Structure 1
Amino acid sequence: MKMFSSLRFIMAILSIVVLHSNLSVAKGLRNVHPKRASFPSDFLFGAGSSAMQIEGAAHEGGKGLGLWDDIVERHKATFVDGDKFSTLIEHYKRYKEDVQHLKHLGVNSYRMTISWSRVMPDGTLKGGINKEGINFYNNLINDLLENDIEPFVTIMHFDYPLALHQKLRGFLNRTIVNHYKDYCNLLFKTYGDRVKHWTTFNEPQVTAIHNYMHGYDNDDREPCQDTGMCSEAYTVLHNFLICHATAAKLYRKKFQATQRGEIGIVLQAPNYVPYSSKSEDVDAANRLMDFSFGWVLDPIYYGDYPQIMRKLVGNRLPKFTKKEENMIKGSLDFVGVNYYYSVFARHESNRSNMFPLDNFDALAATNEFNAEGNTTGPKDQYSGMSVYPKGLYDLLIYMKEKYQNPNIYITENGISSPNMTNQLKDENRIAYIATHINTTKAAIDNDVNVRGYFVWAAFDTFEFHAGYSGHMGLYHVDFNDNLKRVPKASAKWYRNFMTSNYRK
C-alpha cells in the first residue's frame, strides 16, 4: 500500500470519522491540527508511563521484588526483550534527564506510578519502609514541579510486592486491603502536599480477566477455562474495589481538606459496537459495556454491580455488605479512561467460542470485523489496529449519560508501530493523536467534563510480552547507543501543538 503523508493520513481518518458522526461531532473534528488554545487554560496535557515499565533498577536502591519481576524472570523466553526487564530504560537513574525531555515536550502534567515494592519492599509496614525509594519519588516529584509539570500519580499499575502474592495470594485475599491502606497512607502523608491527582488502580478489569479468568501469566490459575465458570476474577476485582474505596475514604478523612487534591480510578476503555443491527448483537454490545465499565463504576455510582452481571454470573459474583456499599458509593472524584480502539460485539452463547480476553459470562464475543466484513475504522499499516476516534467520543458521551457526567481524564491514548522501518518518522502516531485530541474537544463541546489528555507513552516502554517491539513512546530509546532518548516526529508535533499550534 502506498504510504500516506501525515496530512493525507490524518485526512483519510477524519473523512471516515466525520462520515459516521453527527453534526456536532463532525464540527469538532474538522480541524486537521487541533489548537491548544481551544482547550481550557487549566486542561492537563501530558504523557504517561509506569514504574514497572521504565524504571529498571529492579535489584537496586533497596527495592523489593515485584510480582512482575518474578513472572518475567521465570518465563523470560516468552517475553520479547525479556533480558532487558531488570534494567528497562533506566529511568530510576536517569529521571532528571527524562524530566527535561518532558519539559521540552511542553506538557503540564506527567502520569507516573509509585512502585509499592520500592517504598515498602515486602508490602507491609512491619517489613519496613525503604528510605531510598521514598527519596527517589520525592526527588522525581520535586523535579517535575520545578519544571512546571504536575505529577499525576497511579498508586498501583499492575505490579505489587511479590511477598504479598506469595504470602496472601495477592488480591484474592481480603486481608490485603489492610496493607494497601497502609501503603496509601504512606503515600498521601509523604507526597500529598505536592501530588494533587491520585488514581488507586490502573485497569483493574484487565488484571481480573487476563490473569484470573483466562489465567495468563498465572502459575496458580483457577482451572475454569474449559467450563468458563470462573470465580477468582470476580473476587479479585471485588477486593480491588474495597481497596479503592478504603483509600478514597482515608484520603477524604485525613488529607483532602488540607492537601486539596482528588482521587479516582483508571479503567481500560474499549468501546463496543454492535456486530450487526440484530437486536441480539445490540444487546451484546450493551452487555459488554456493563461487564467492562459497569463492573467498576456501577458499584461506585449506584451501590452494586449491574443487574445483568448479577443475573449471568450468579453466586460467583461477590456481594457487598451494607457498610461496604456505603463506603464504595461515591468513592471517586474522577474517572481515568484508557482508550485505544473499538471492537465489534457479537452475541455468543457458546463459551468455548469466546476470544481469549472476552468475559465468558457476558455471552458476547468481540470481533475485529462486523457482519459485513468491515472494521470500525481504517487500519493503520504500521500497527494493524483499526483507528476509530469516534469510538472515544461515543464512550465519553456514554459515560456522561450513564454516570452523572463525571470528571474524566483520558489517561492513556496512543498507537504502536512495530512494522515501521524508521521509528523516528512515526507519522501514524501524529495522525492518531491529532484525531483523538480533536475528538476530545468535540466531547467537551458537548458538555462532557474532560479535564485532561495523556499520550501513552512518554518514552518507549516495556509492553509486557511485546517488550519494546511496539515502540509506543514519543521518545525513541536507542538500546544500541547507551539508551539515548531521541524525539520522534510525534514528540516534535506534540511540542509544537503545546507551544505554537503547529501547522505543517
Structure 2
Amino acid sequence: MQSLSLLSVSVVIVLAVSYSDAFTRNDFPKDFLFGAATSAYQWEGAVDEDGRTPSVWDTFSHSDNKKGDGDIACDGYHKYQEDVKLMAEMGLEAFRFSISWTRLIPNGRGPVNPKGLKFYKNLIKELRSHGIEPHVTLYHYDLPQALEDEYGGWINRKIIEDFTSFADVCFREFGEDVKLWTTINEANIFAIGAYSEGFLPPGHCSTNTFVNCSTGNSSTEPYIAGHNLLLAHASASKLYRLKYKSKQRGSIGFSIYAYGLSPYTNSTDDEIAFQRAKDFLFGWMLKPLVYGEYPDVMKKTLGSRLPVFSEEETEQVKGSSDFFGIIHYMTVYVTNSKPSPSLPPSNREFFTDMGVDTIFIGNSSFFGWDAIPWGFEGVLEYLKQSYNNPPLYILENGLPMEHDSALQDTPRVEYIQAYIGAMLNAIKNGSDTRGYFVWSMIDLYELLAEYKNSFGLYYVNFSDPGLKRSPKLSASWYSGFLKGTVDVASQDITQSQSNFSGSSSL
C-alpha cells in the first residue's frame, strides 16, 4: 500500500518524459514474475465474520469516521473466486496478498480459526489451479488488537515470539503451495508512520502537529519498533530455514519502502544530506540484514535512542533475507536541513533526526505524483551496488487516480509502462530483480485516501451492492503486455482495450 507522503514539502515541477525503448514480456527472464497485489484489510472485508477479531487497523480506521474503513472493502473474502478468474483472464503470473493475523488466529496466539484457515487454503488452491503463483505477506499493518492491548505490540519484545508462532502456523499450513514469503510489509515506513508520525495504526506520536496522537514517543518508539521488526523477521526466517525450507523449498524476504532520491543541488551539504537520507531510509533496515549493524550516521545521531543488537542477534539478523521486497512509487529531491540546537532529543522525530528536507518532483499532493522512472532505476542500481546485488521483488508500484475517473486511466498505463521499462534497464545492467507487482489488482480501501483515490487495474463500483468489477484501460494494457499482443513502443495505448477479453462481473 502506498502509505507515506512527507508532510512538509516544497514543490518542483518537472516534465515526465518517455523513458524506455521498445520491449516485450519476452525481454524479461522466463522465470520473472509479473503480478498484482492487495492486502487483507484493504481487500477482504468481512471483518467480523467467521471468527475474525479486530486488528489495530480496524480500531484505527474506526477512531475517525473521516478515514472510512475496510469493513466491507471490495469483499474479497466472498468474491475471491471471481477475482482470481479476472486475474487469470488478465494473464497474471503471480498474486501478492497478505494473511489477516486475526482471521487465522483470532486471539493473536493460541487456537487456529478453522474457517480462517479454510479461506486461505481455498484462495491459494484457486490461485494454483489457474497457474498463478501466490506471494504471501505475513504482516501488513494488521496486528491483533488483543496483543496491542496486552503489551503494546511492536514496541515490546514479546511480539517476537508471537509473530514467530503466527509465521509457524502459516508455514505449516500453506507452505506446500507458497514458495514466496514476505514477513513484514514496508517495515521502515510502518515504523515511521505508526510510531513517529502517527498516521498509520496504532497511531503513536508525540511531536507531530498534523496528527492528534493520544500516546507515543516519536523520539524513541520508531527505532524500538524497527528493531523488533528486524528481530521478528529474523526469528521467523530462522524457523523457516530450520523447520520447513528443506522440504518446502521456498524463499523468505523482508520489505521496505524505497523512495527514489536525488540531491537537490550539487552542493557539498546536499550531497551529504543525500547520503544521510539513504542511510536513514534504506540502511536502517537493510544494513543490519546484509552487514549485521545499523549505519554509523544513525548510531552517531541517535546515541542511546537506537537499540543495540547483541552478538547473537547480529548473527541471526545478518543474512536472514533470501530477497528484499521493494515498494516504490515516487522520487524526491533532498536538501540539507539545518538542525535546531535548541531542540532536545525528547522532542525529535524521525525526519528531524534524518536532517533532510524533501522536495517533491512534480505533483506533491498526498495521492498524486508524476512518473519519474529514472528515480526507480536509480533505486535498483543503488541496491545492487551497496547491498551485494540482492534478489529483489518489486512488491508495489502504481499510480493513484480519483476513483471516479472511470475506466480510461491512460496516465496509469503510461506510468506502469515507463516503470517496467526502467526496471528492464536495471536488469540489463545487472540488477537481480525477479518480479514486479502492480499496486493494486483492483480498487481497494486505501488508508489515507479511503475510497476517494484508487490504484486498481479493475474498477470497483462501491455504490453497487454487488461491488461490480470492470476492467480499466490499465488492465487491458497489462494483459496485452503479458500476452504479447501490445507493442509497447508504438501502439496507441487507447487501442489496447479492444484486445482485452476480461469480463465485468454481474
What band does the TM-score fall into relative to the shorter chain?
A: 0.7 to 0.9
State the alpha-carbon separation in 2 of the partners of residues 318 and 392 from structure 1: 31
State the alpha-carbon separation in 2 of the partners of residues 36 and 501 from structure 1: 10
SS at match of 1:359: helix
The number of equivalent residue pairs is: 461
- Normalising by structure 1, report the TM-score: 0.88
Q: 1:325 aligns with which of 308, 314, 326?
A: 314
Structure 1, gaps ≥5 residues long: 1-11, 18-28, 369-374
2:394 maps to which residue? 410
State the alpha-carbon separation in 1 of the partners of residues 205 and 314 from structure 2: 27
* Cα pair 1:184 1:247 within 8 Å, conserved: yes
Which range moved further: 421-430 or 381-390? Answer: 381-390
State the alpha-carbon separation in 2 of the partners of residues 444 and 282 from structure 1: 26
State the alpha-carbon separation in 2 of the partners of residues 457 and 97 from structure 1: 16
Relative to structure 1, the CA distance from residue 479 to residue 298 in structure 2 (aligned partners, 3 Å threshold; closer, same or farther) is same
**Once the 2 structures are TM-superposed, how far is the Cα of residue 381 of structure 1 from its aligned partner?**
11
* Cα pair 2:190 2:200 within 8 Å, conserved: no
SS at match of 1:92: helix
* Cα pair 2:99 2:136 within 8 Å, conserved: yes
Q: 1:106 aligns with which of 68, 87, 91?
A: 91
Q: 2:74 aligns with which of 65, 70, 89?
A: 89
State the alpha-carbon separation in 2 of the partners of residues 400 and 388 from structure 1: 19
**Once the 2 structures are TM-superposed, how far is the Cα of residue 470 of structure 1 from its aligned partner?**
1.4
**Once the 2 structures are TM-superposed, how far is the Cα of residue 246 of structure 1 from its aligned partner?**
0.2
State the alpha-carbon separation in 1 of the partners of residues 365 and 100 from structure 2: 35
State the alpha-carbon separation in 1 of the partners of residues 164 and 290 from structure 2: 22
Q: Does 1:462 align with 2:479?
A: no
**Once the 2 structures are TM-superposed, how far is the Cα of residue 283 of structure 1 from its aligned partner?**
1.0
Q: Does 1:255 align with 2:236?
A: no
2:423 maps to which residue? 440
Aligned ranges 1:218-297 → 2 under 5 Å: 221-225=204-208, 230-297=219-286
* Cα pair 1:382 1:416 within 8 Å, conserved: no
State the alpha-carbon separation in 2 of the partners of residues 299 and 219 from structure 1: 25
1:205 maps to which residue? 188
State the alpha-carbon separation in 2 of the partners of residues 181 and 85 from structure 1: 26
Residue 260 of structure 1 aligns with an amino acid whose one-letter code is R
State the alpha-carbon separation in 2 of the partners of residues 215 and 465 from structure 1: 12
Relative to structure 1, the CA distance from residue 423 to residue 41 in structure 2 (aligned partners, 3 Å threshold; closer, same or farther) is same
**Once the 2 structures are TM-superposed, how far is the Cα of residue 219 of structure 1 from its aligned partner?**
7.3
- CA deviations over 1:365-394 (Å, ceiling 9, x no partner): 1112xxxxxx3xx65999641320001111
Residue 408 of structure 1 aligns with an amino acid whose one-letter code is L
1:7 maps to which residue? none
Residue 61 of structure 2 aligns with an amino acid whose one-letter code is V
* Cα pair 2:273 2:356 within 8 Å, conserved: yes
- CA deviations over 1:57-84 (Å, ceiling 9, x no partner): 000011011111111122122x1xx1x5
Percent identity of equivalent pairs: 37
* Cα pair 1:358 1:365 within 8 Å, conserved: no
State the alpha-carbon separation in 2 of the partners of residues 223 and 434 from structure 1: 41
- CA deviations over 1:433-460 (Å, ceiling 9, x no partner): 0010111110010011010011000010
Relative to structure 1, the CA distance from residue 225 to residue 488 in structure 2 (aligned partners, 3 Å threshold; closer, same or farther) is closer
- CA deviations over 1:16-39 (Å, ceiling 9, x no partner): x5xxxxxxxxxxx222xx300111
* Cα pair 1:417 1:423 within 8 Å, conserved: no
- Normalising by structure 2, report the TM-score: 0.88
Relative to structure 1, the CA distance from residue 55 to residue 270 in structure 2 (aligned partners, 3 Å threshold; closer, same or farther) is same
Residue 100 of structure 2 aligns with an amino acid whose one-letter code is S
**Once the 2 structures are TM-superposed, how far is the Cα of residue 421 of structure 1 from its aligned partner?**
5.7
Q: Does 1:121 align with 2:110?
A: no
2:138 maps to which residue? 155
Q: 1:390 aligns with which of 366, 371, 374?
A: 374
Relative to structure 1, the CA distance from residue 105 to residue 382 in structure 2 (aligned partners, 3 Å threshold; closer, same or farther) is farther
1:130 maps to which residue? 113
SS at match of 2:480: helix
**Once the 2 structures are TM-superposed, how far is the Cα of residue 461 of structure 1 from its aligned partner?**
1.1
Q: 1:359 aligns with which of 340, 351, 366?
A: 351
Structure 2, gaps ≥5 residues long: 1-14, 210-216, 492-506
* Cα pair 2:35 2:94 within 8 Å, conserved: yes
